[in-house]
């Protein structure tokens, strides 16, 4: 570069610097505040992404308080961003495409109705119009799938729905197709929905296909057909959907197919019952086979997926319980079984679930093993309820609950422990009603002789409750079990002795002796919980002496009661220290 060129370049640079300086001076003059103090010089913005912040600073200099107002409106740490959040775009797309397809279908339906009212098109053209709408939506969904998957799923679902409606109209409304052709078309639409869902990896299409497939017999119902055919068709649909769930693991598909399948069986049963007032043996057998197939399907499919694929889902646990309970309810209703008949079903079911629990335990699927054990326990308990009644049932349930507590403590199984707690709740409620109203269930019923079979059964149940208190691991549960056992003993003594001559005095004597025995046992074995329970019992005896016995007990009983218990309390107080034998349990509180 020669000297002339260098001089020209230097002059240009100087001229540019002067122009920049003049622009800065003019900007300072225009951005002075109301007091005439020039604002700070705006910094030079070199990053286009920071441009909004630079403009804000300039606006702040020109309008004091702008920044404070903006921060109060938008919050601390706000920024002006010219780009939208991806989630906002997805939400907008989700709503807009569904609203758009819905409005489009409504518009097409209105156009269709208008054309029918005006007589513009014949029934054949109407059906063809439905085919055209369904095919167009399917084509558009497949066309935009790669770029707009959410929109494509809505379009495909709308197309499948339009085809179902078209098949229904062609058969039921216009009679343009025979039953066999319409049925085959609806089945083909169901298969199309399932294939598209597998190809597009969209559970919604399979759900639409499931609903359409299960609803096909009702959409095409013409008053004919058999219950066996309905059951067979439903089982085929459910088997296909269970296979899809086993492959894809769609929880929504399993929920919809199971709810729909059970509903179809229920509607089929009620329909035949209303038409014929009683099902024939063949119809009962067909419905029972369908229910049994659905039970095995909804039990095994989610469990097999969890075992084979190592997935962790609450559905397997839920369907292990629900499928068995629903099947038992259907079976009892179909055959109108008595309790004895149901017992012959629940007993094999208990054995089956126990074996399944053992197999899952060996495979290392501990959670599912516990769930199956709980279901087996449920069926075993139902078997006892169906086979037994009265004293035998109460005693058996109490023994079962105590054994379950022992097993739960031995194997550290919280599920078995929860089942034992639940079973003992039932036992306690039953025992409480017997202690208050008597074994015969009526407070005015004549009491049987002292220490009869019912009384001994109640006493055995109380003993099982005490034994269970030694097995529970929770400190609060131990306290609850022992408190309820203690209260049951007092109530048992009151029930057995109060009806005898001088019963109130006898109850007081029995409670006092019981409290004294507890006190001595607590001191001799160093058990604080026994000692505290004994003191509470003796205080209860004192309260009964003053509040009840003074008014109700005859004077001949009143004098020896007060004298005897006064002497007993003095003897116990004198012998407390000599009776105390601190042992391994001393100082362990509730234990």
Query: Which candidate, 164, 166, 142, places its Cα nearest to that of 153?
Result: 142
First to last CA, the chain: 103
Q: No. of H helices and E strands in the chain?
A: 22, 0
194 touches 250 (CB < 8 A): no
For residue 348, count CB atoms less than 10 angstroms from its CB and return exposed for 0-12, middle for 13-18, buried for 19 or more.
exposed
DSSP 87-128: HHHHHHHHHHHHHHHHHHHHHHHHHHHHHHHHT-S-HHHHHH
CA distance linking residue 547 with residue 449, whole number of Å: 29
Token couple for 523: 């001191």
CA distance linking residue 222 with residue 181, whole number of Å: 14
What kind and span of H or E run contains 340?
helix 339-362
Q: How far apart, in Å, are the Cα atoms of 92 and each of 82, 143, 201?
A: 17, 21, 22
The angle formed by the CA atoms of residues 269, 273 and 276, to the nearest 5 degrees, is 135
Query: Which candidate, 210, 90, 212, 231, places its Cα nearest to that of 162?
Result: 212
Across 300-374, where does the E strand assignment appear? none
Q: What pLDDT does 87 receive?
A: 63
251 touches 204 (CB < 8 A): no
The angle formed by the CA atoms of residues 385, 387 and 390, to the nearest 5 degrees, is 65
- As a dihedral over the C-alpha atoms of residue 502, residue 508, residue 514, residue 519, rounded to 10 degrees, the angle is -150
Q: What pLDDT does 73 receive?
A: 47
CA distance linking residue 299 with residue 258, whole number of Å: 11
Q: How far apart, in Å, are the Cα atoms of 136 and each of 77, 105, 160, 376, 481?
A: 49, 12, 11, 53, 70
348 touches 379 (CB < 8 A): no
CA distance linking residue 352 with residue 377, whole number of Å: 11
For residue 357, count CB atoms less than 10 angstroms from its CB and return exposed for 0-12, middle for 13-18, buried for 19 or more.
buried
Q: What pLDDT does 140 receive?
A: 87
Query: Which candidate, 290, 298, 302, places its Cα nearest to that of 324?
Result: 298
CA distance linking residue 137 with residue 144, whole number of Å: 11
Q: What pLDDT does 120 receive?
A: 65
For residue 307, count CB atoms less than 10 angstroms from its CB and return exposed for 0-12, middle for 13-18, buried for 19 or more.
middle
CA distance linking residue 153 with residue 146, whole number of Å: 11
Query: 436-440: long-range contacts (C-beta < 8 A, 24 or more apart)?
Result: 436/491, 438/495, 439/391
Query: Which candidate, 418, 417, 397, places its Cα nearest to that of 406?
Result: 417
549 touches 498 (CB < 8 A): no
pLDDT along the chain (591 residues), means of 10: 63 75 71 49 43 47 49 45 52 64 64 65 78 88 79 83 86 85 94 91 89 93 86 95 91 94 94 82 94 96 88 84 95 93 95 94 89 92 92 94 91 84 94 82 48 88 94 90 95 89 87 91 84 90 87 79 86 79 49 41
Q: What pLDDT does 158 receive?
A: 82
Query: Which candidate, 240, 244, 236, 155, places its Cα nearest to that of 198?
Result: 244
CA distance linking residue 22 with residue 84, whole number of Å: 39
């Amino acid at each position: 570069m020669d000297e002339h060129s260098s001089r020209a370049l230097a002059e240009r640079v100087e001229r540019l610097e002067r122009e920049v300086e003049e622009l800065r001076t003019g900007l300072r003059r225009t951005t002075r505040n109301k007091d005439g103090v020039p604002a700070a010089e705006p910094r030079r913005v070199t990053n286009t992404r920071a441009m909004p912040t630079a403009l804000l600073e300039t606006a702040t200099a020109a309008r004091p308080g702008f920044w404070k107002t903006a921060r109060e409106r938008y919050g601390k740490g706000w920024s002006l961003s010219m780009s939208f959040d991806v989630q906002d775009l997805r939400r907008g797309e989700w709503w807009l495409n569904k609203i758009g397809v819905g409005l489009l279908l409504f518009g097409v339906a209105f156009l269709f109705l208008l054309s029918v009212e005006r007589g513009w098109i014949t029934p054949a053209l109407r059906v063809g119009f439905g085919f055209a709408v369904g095919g167009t939506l399917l084509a558009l969904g497949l066309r935009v799938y790669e770029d707009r998957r959410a929109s494509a799923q809505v379009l495909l679902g709308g197309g499948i729905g339009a085809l179902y409606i078209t098949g229904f109209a062609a058969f039921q409304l216009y009679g343009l197709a025979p039953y066999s052709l319409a049925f085959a078309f609806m089945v083909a639409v169901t298969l199309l929905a399932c294939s598209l869902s597998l190809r597009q990896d969209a559970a919604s299409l399979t759900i639409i296909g499931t609903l359409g497939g299960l609803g096909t017999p009702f959409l095409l119902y013409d008053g004919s057909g058999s219950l066996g055919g309905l059951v067979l068709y439903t089982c085929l649909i459910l088997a296909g959907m269970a296979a899809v769930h086993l492959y894809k693991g769609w929880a929504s598909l399993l929920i919809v197919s199971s709810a729909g399948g059970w509903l179809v069986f229920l509607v089929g049963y009620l329909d035949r019952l209303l038409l014929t007032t009683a099902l024939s043996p063949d119809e009962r057998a067909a419905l029972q086979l369908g229910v049994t197939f659905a039970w095995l399907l909804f039990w095994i499919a989610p469990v097999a997926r969890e075992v084979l694929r190592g997935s962790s889902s609450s559905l397997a646990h839920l369907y292990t319980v629900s499928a068995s309970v629903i099947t038992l309810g259907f079976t009892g209703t179909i055959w109108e079984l008595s309790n004895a008949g149901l017992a012959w079903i629940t007993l094999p079911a208990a054995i089956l679930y126990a074996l399944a629990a053992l197999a899952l335990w060996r495979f290392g699927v501990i959670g599912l093993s516990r769930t199956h054990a709980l279901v087996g326990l449920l069926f075993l308990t139902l078997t006892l309820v169906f086979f037994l009644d009265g004293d035998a049932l109460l005693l058996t349930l109490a023994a079962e609950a105590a054994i379950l507590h022992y097993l739960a403590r031995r194997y550290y199984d919280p599920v078995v422990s929860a089942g034992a707690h639940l079973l003992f709740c039932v036992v306690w409620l039953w025992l409480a009603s017997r202690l208050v109203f008597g074994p015969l269930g009526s407070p005015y019923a004549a009491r049987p002789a002292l220490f009869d079979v019912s009384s001994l059964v109640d006493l055995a149940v109380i003993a099982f409750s005490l034994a269970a208190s030694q097995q529970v691991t929770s400190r609060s549960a131990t306290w609850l079990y022992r408190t309820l056992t203690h209260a049951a003993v007092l109530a048992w003594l009151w029930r057995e002795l109060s009806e005898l001559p001088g019963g109130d005095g006898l109850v007081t004597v029995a409670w006092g002796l019981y409290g004294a025995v507890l006190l001595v046992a607590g001191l001799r074995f160093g058990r604080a919980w026994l000692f505290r329970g004994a003191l509470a019992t003796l205080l209860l005896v004192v309260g009964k002496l003053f509040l009840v016995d003074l008014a109700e007990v005859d004077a001949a009983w009143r004098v020896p009661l007060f004298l005897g218990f006064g002497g007993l309390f003095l003897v116990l107080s004198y012998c407390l220290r000599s009776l105390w034998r601190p042992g391994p349990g001393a100082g362990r509180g509730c234990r």
